[in-house]
Amino acid sequence: QIVTVAPSTHPKRLNVTRREGKVSINTEIMDAETVSELRKKRTFKKFTFRGIELDALLDLTNDELMDLVTARARRRMSRGLKRKPMALIKRLRQAKKEAEPGEKPRGIKTHLRNMIIVPEMIGSIVGIYNGKMFCGVEMKPEMVGMYLGEFAITYKPVRHGRPGVSAAHQTRFIPL
């Protein structure tokens, strides 16, 4: 039985080979070219939103985007973008502009849970208010057409434990 682990994409990762019960470890340090070649081999599925790739999605106008989203979002967009959502988009643009290339932009806090996520917001970090605190959420392409409020839960999910001893629930069985 021969087991071989392929070289990893990490430049200082160990290569392990197992032959007939004996294990040999190579501490081979790969050069930058080998690492870049291995990374090029990995192919990822391109993101598409209803058949449109990300680059084309970013270039869409509001009217073209309206045709791609759900009926409720389409109705909301047809009534125009109000002052508060426009101000949020303006602040997100400013944060993206101020960020260094390759860095994430600073987070922008908002109470606008009913704002529909548009392609221009992709890559931004938004602090969405849930009634108590701001939940930081990074906008991803999969979120387009959804509401900001869907990503900041407003309640703490119930963690069911053992039933307690109280007057109303004395009939419950409590193991000793």
State how far the alpha carbon of 79 is from the alpha carbons of 62, 69, 89, 154, 163, in Å.
12, 15, 17, 27, 51
Mean pLDDT, contiguous 10-residue spans, the chain (176 residues): 52 53 53 68 75 85 88 89 89 91 90 92 92 93 91 90 65 63
Residue 131: predicted pLDDT: 93
Residue 62: predicted pLDDT: 85
Reference 145, options 52, 83, 82; nearest CA is 52
Residue 72: predicted pLDDT: 92
Alpha-carbon gap, residue 152 to 136, rounded angstroms: 8
pTM of the model: 0.64
Residue 153: predicted pLDDT: 92
Residue 27: predicted pLDDT: 47
Structure tokens at 111: 């109470």
Residue 30: predicted pLDDT: 58
Angle subtended at Cα 35 by Cα 31 and Cα 36, rounded to the nearest 5 degrees: 115
Burial class (CB in 10 A: 0-12, 13-18, 19+), 101: exposed
Residue 33: predicted pLDDT: 72
